[in-house]
Amino acid sequence: MLLEQFINGMTLGSIYAIVALGFTLVFGVLGIINMAHGEIFMVGAFVGVMTTGVLGWPLWLAFVASIVVTSILGYLLETFTLRPLRGKRGVSHLAPLISTIGVSILLENLSHHLFGAGNKPFRTEFAEMSIEIGSLTIYIVQIVIFVISIILMIGLSIWLSKTKAGKALRATAENLETASILGVDTKKIITLTVIIASAMGGIAGILVGMAFNSVSPQMGLAIGLKGLAIIILGGMGNVKGAMVGGLILGLSETFLVAYGDSGYRDAIAFIMIIVILLLRPQGIFGSKIAEGR
């Protein structure tokens, strides 16, 4: 049924968008791909599983816990693995990328060690609940996911365009030196950006856990690569591009599974990268000229 698939696609896509926003914020400000973002997302998902499943906490508290844990991870990531490499002479510009890859491996192995390799179910009190409108079945989980994602996207957009800190972030993303001579403490803004991006990853982790009712230490890599595909699709560092790109990927995956060959589901993201790089290398919303950094 078309409408049902559309809702499925939008739900999935809105989660992808949140993941991609985390990538794009960090890329915008630091000009690097944070390869640890997928694993921070995975940790967020496990915090959700542990707090709701083992500790029996309500879902909202699981979100809070996940935000707190992933924010701390973001802070540590910036302070210990990114900042020491910044602005130093003789440090390759690839160094922070490698550094985030190191963190991603560390986090994946750590959760392997702590939680085992297998999938963990993610139970929510309303996992099976659904509403029927005519022949249309919508699960409550889907509505929850979609609403949270949309609120997050709108909230972030307003924060970026209206608040002082949001404007400082955009100024820093456009030009670090310029922002600093305008009085922006760019070190603080960068830290804040990595923290916000990580917290969004944590939220997305719980959302994915809810959507698929399953969490595993390997989930970070898959979703990380998709997030990467989305920001290439939407334009690196572009907030609107991450949102639209996420929705496009979610919809196309869902429709492929429903009407085509589900075996190619995970290939879609990468087919998209190839096509977009051939047709519009700057991405859908990216500007023609590469940003000079």
Report the C-alpha gap between 170 and 163 in whole angstroms. Answer: 11
Which residues, 6 or more positions from 96, have their beta carbon under 8 angstroms from its beta carbon?
30, 32, 81, 82, 85, 86
CB of 207 to another protein, least distance (A): 30
CB of 44 to another protein, least distance (A): 30
Nearer to another protein, 103 or 173 (CB): 173
CB closer to another protein, 173 vs 268: 173
Q: Which is nearer to another protein, 83 or 265 (CB)?
A: 83
267 sits in the region (left: phi over 0; alpha: psi -120 to 50; else beta) called: alpha
**Closest approach of Cβ 166 to another protein, in Å?**
10
- The residue among 58 and 84 lying less far from another protein, judged by its C-beta, is 84
Among candidates 197, 277, 201, which has minimal Cα distance to 29? 197
Rounded to whole angstroms, the Cα distance separating 47 from 69 reads 8
- Smaller CB distance to another protein: residue 119 or 180? 180
Residue 161 CB, nearest approach to another protein (Å): 9
Query: Which of these, 221, 216, 211, 218, lies nearest to 115 by C-alpha position?
Result: 216
Least separation in angstroms between residue 171's CB and another protein is 5
- Residue 189 or 215 having the CB closest to another protein: 189
Q: Which CB atom, from 4 or from 174, has the smaller least distance to another protein?
A: 174
Contacts within 8 Å (CB) and 24+ apart, 185-190: 187/83, 189/29, 189/165, 190/29, 190/30, 190/78, 190/83
Provide the CA 7 distance to its chain's centre, in angstroms. 20
Q: Report the candidate in 276, 206, 198, 199 with the shortest Cα–Cα distance to residue 34.
A: 198
In the complex, least distance from residue 190 CB atom to another protein, rounded to whole angstroms: 13
- Supply the minimum distance, in Å, between the C-beta of residue 187 and another protein: 8
Provide, rounded to whole angstroms, the least separation between the CB of residue 29 and another protein. Answer: 13
Tell which residue, 206, 208, 220, has the closest CA to residue 51.
206
Binding residues (CB under 8 A) for another protein: these are: 89, 164, 167-168, 170-171, 174-175, 177-186
Among the listed residues 45, 9, 6, the one whose alpha carbon sits nearest the alpha carbon of residue 218: 45
Which of residues 73 and 176 has its CB atom nearest to another protein in the complex?
176
* Strands, E assignment, the chain: 130-133, 136-139
